[in-house]
């Protein structure tokens, strides 16, 4: 089966009655956890993005508490998992500001956790890649916000 384009789907959804749209959304939420999480975000949390960002930061804190610090290999795998979850939450918002805040927070948590990122080239690359993503997201923002976020980012640069 060939998937329809986004434009075709949009046109078809415009023709459907609201009750049928509800049924389609509910059916969509049954198939994948990500679909259900996205619908939850859109319905309940999209209105207050700052609270959502704070909740994601709390999740990151909880995941960092469970990091296996003595074993660098397991730490690396756990950090990738935390980063995957964070990236998923960023995708839900679709906001450059949320991306900058969450990835900056992730990098700060790595620094404050005392993880020896210099001992592992993989961790060093992972850290630098996140800083690169933050810089590119900052570049799309308003100049005043760029200045504020670049100042916050400057303390994380030395790796």
Q: Is pLDDT of 159 > 60?
A: no
Mean pLDDT of the chain: 89
Q: State pLDDT tens for residues 40-55.
A: 998 899 899 999 999 9
What's the rounded mean pLDDT across residues 98-107?
94
What pLDDT does 54 receive?
95
Residue entry with tokens 């020896």: 116
What's the rounded mean pLDDT across residues 136-144?
87
CA torsion 106-108-113-114 (nearest 10°) is 130
The DSSP letter of residue 41 is: I
């Amino acid at each position: 089966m060939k998937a329809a384009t986004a434009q075709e789907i949009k046109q078809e959804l415009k023709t459907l009655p609201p009750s049928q749209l509800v049924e389609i959304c509910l059916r969509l939420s049954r198939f994948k956890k990500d679909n259900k999480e996205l619908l939850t975000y859109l319905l309940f949390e999209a209105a207050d993005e700052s609270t959502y960002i704070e909740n994601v930061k709390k999740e990151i804190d909880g995941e960092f508490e469970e990091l296996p610090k003595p074993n660098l290999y397991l730490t690396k795998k756990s950090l990738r998992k935390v980063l995957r979850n964070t990236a998923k939450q960023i995708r839900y918002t679709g906001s450059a500001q949320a991306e900058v805040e969450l990835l900056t927070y992730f990098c700060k948590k790595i620094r404050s956790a005392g993880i020896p990122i210099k001992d592992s080239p993989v961790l060093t690359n992972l850290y630098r890649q996140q800083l690169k993503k933050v810089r590119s997201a900052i570049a799309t923002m308003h100049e005043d916000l760029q200045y504020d976020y670049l100042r916050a980012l400057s303390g994380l640069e030395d790796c």
